[in-house]
């Protein structure tokens, strides 16, 4: 194990112990470094007050720390003053905020891809069923990579919004956002990017990318659960009707009217997850201390070794491109004739290897592609070659047992 990886691993309490657990479910949720845990605890121990409401020292400190966390998130994605950072619970809530807030016309169309997470499918599906929009699914290539031809055919002059995954949790492919943005703009459409998987390994630069909304969850980026982000272009955010209103969203009320405040508070109703925001800010700083190019290089090297070993096993089929460099840190496979849930349980029980089994919240693609449930390993910067070797060797034994 390189000294750099060893140094990183020491910062994660969940990876300590002998033997250390082998955690390969990072596409679902990443582990938390000590600095994040400290930031959460610090809020509750040292300044457990409300943001923007109380004049005492707890309230003032909570307000300062909360806004500092917002600024740290903005730096993580290089958000200019044209963008506003809103705290939500997760990517799902961020996307729903847009879906439920825009003033839809009956002929509006929303275009998504064929490999969207349920969080970027169900909001549009429901709007379509309720008669609010038409939902158009742009097909992807057989290996789940982006199809510009399929996307172009899905667009029309009625396209109001393109809502697209950046990096897929299904296969790890990364979509060409700049090309997608150019096509969307030619049709006058808004663009929302689901960056839940990409924020940890891809360079997201909102001063460069021509997008209107970027949604992600901090629990996939070394941060706490229950804390998400929506970065919204301020000019477009004004078109979004807040899903919730109440305390914090107004400067004054009367029995029959209210004066609403500006962004971001207008879209953050009620008492927020201040501890989570502070933890998210610490996670953003931790992630910023790591070069994205180093993260990608490490994920690719681990994926290359794992891919070669796993695909040498009988009856194993890959979901996604064969080239590991095109799949970020995700290795998702179907093992013919073997229940992936049983395999996942056996890996955990026999070797303390934690992976994901099932439809990975992309049921729609599995059904359309007539593909059974799969076994997914997903890597992070703290994983080692030893982790990969134990995973692949243990998987080989399980496959041999069932064969």
The distance from CA 103 to its chain's CA centroid, rounded to whole angstroms, is 26
- Cα 61 to Cα 195: distance, rounded to the nearest angstrom: 30
Contact in structure between 123 and 99 (CB atoms under 8 Å): yes
Q: Please name which of 295, 301, 312, 309 lies closest in space to residue 385, comparing C-alpha atoms.
A: 301
Instruction: Find the helix or strand (DSSP H, E) in which 232 lies.
Output: strand 228-233
**H or E element that contains 374:** strand 374-378
Among 28, 35, 50, 361, the one annotated catalytic? 361
The closest alpha carbon to 244, from 260, 257, 229, belongs to 260
CA dihedral 77, 81, 82, 83 (to 10 degrees): 40
The answer to whether residue 28 is catalytic is no
* CA–CA distance, 356 with 363 (Å, rounded to integer): 14
Instruction: Please state, as a whole number, how many other Cβ atoms lie within 10 Å of the Cβ of residue 148.
Output: 14
Residue identified by tokens 């001063």 is 207
Could you list the active site residues? 361
């Amino acid at each position: 194990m390189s000294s750099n990886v060893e140094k990183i691993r020491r910062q994660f309490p969940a990876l300590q112990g002998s033997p250390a657990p082998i955690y390969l479910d990072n596409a679902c949720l990443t582990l938390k470094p000590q600095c994040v845990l400290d930031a959460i605890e610090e809020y509750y121990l040292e300044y457990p007050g409300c943001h923007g409401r109380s004049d005492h020292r707890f309230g003032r400190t909570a307000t300062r720390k909360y806004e500092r966390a917002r600024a740290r998130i903005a730096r993580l994605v290089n958000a200019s003053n044209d963008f506003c950072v809103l705290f939500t619970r997760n990517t799902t809530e961020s996307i729903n905020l847009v879906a439920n807030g825009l003033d839809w016309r009956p002929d509006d169309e929303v275009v998504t891809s064929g490999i969207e997470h349920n969080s970027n499918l169900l909001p549009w599906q429901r709007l379509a069923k309720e008669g609010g929009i038409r939902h158009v699914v742009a097909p992807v290539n057989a290996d789940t990579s982006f199809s510009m031809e399929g996307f172009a055919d899905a667009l029309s002059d009625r396209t109001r919004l393109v809502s697209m995954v950046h990096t897929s949790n299904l296969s790890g492919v990364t979509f060409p956002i700049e090309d997608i943005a150019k096509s969307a703009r030619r049709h006058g459409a808004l663009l929302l990017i689901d960056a839940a998987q990409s924020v940890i390994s891809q360079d997201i630069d909102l001063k460069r990318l021509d997008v209107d909304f970027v949604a992600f969850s901090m629990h996939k980026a070394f941060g706490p659960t229950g804390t998400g982000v929506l970065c919204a272009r301020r000019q477009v955010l004004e078109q979004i009707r807040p899903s919730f209103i109440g305390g914090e969203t107004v400067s004054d009320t009367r029995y029959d009217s209210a004066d609403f405040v500006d962004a971001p508070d207008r879209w953050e109703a009620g008492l927020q997850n201040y501890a989570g925001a502070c933890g998210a800010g610490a996670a953003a700083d931790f992630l910023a201390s790591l070069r994205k190019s180093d993260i990608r290089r490490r994920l690719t090297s681990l994926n290359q070794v794992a891919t070669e070993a796993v695909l040498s096993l009988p009856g194993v089929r890959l979901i996604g491109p064969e080239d590991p460099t095109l799949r970020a840190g995700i290795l998702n496979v179907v093992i013919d004739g073997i229940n992936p849930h049983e395999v996942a349980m056996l890996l955990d029980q026999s070797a303390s290897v934690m992976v994901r089994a099932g439809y990975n919240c992309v049921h729609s693609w599995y059904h359309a592609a007539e593909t059974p449930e799969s076994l997914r390993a997903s890597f992070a910067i703290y994983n080692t070659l030893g982790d990969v070797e134990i995973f692949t060797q243990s998987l080989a034994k399980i496959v041999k047992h069932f064969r």
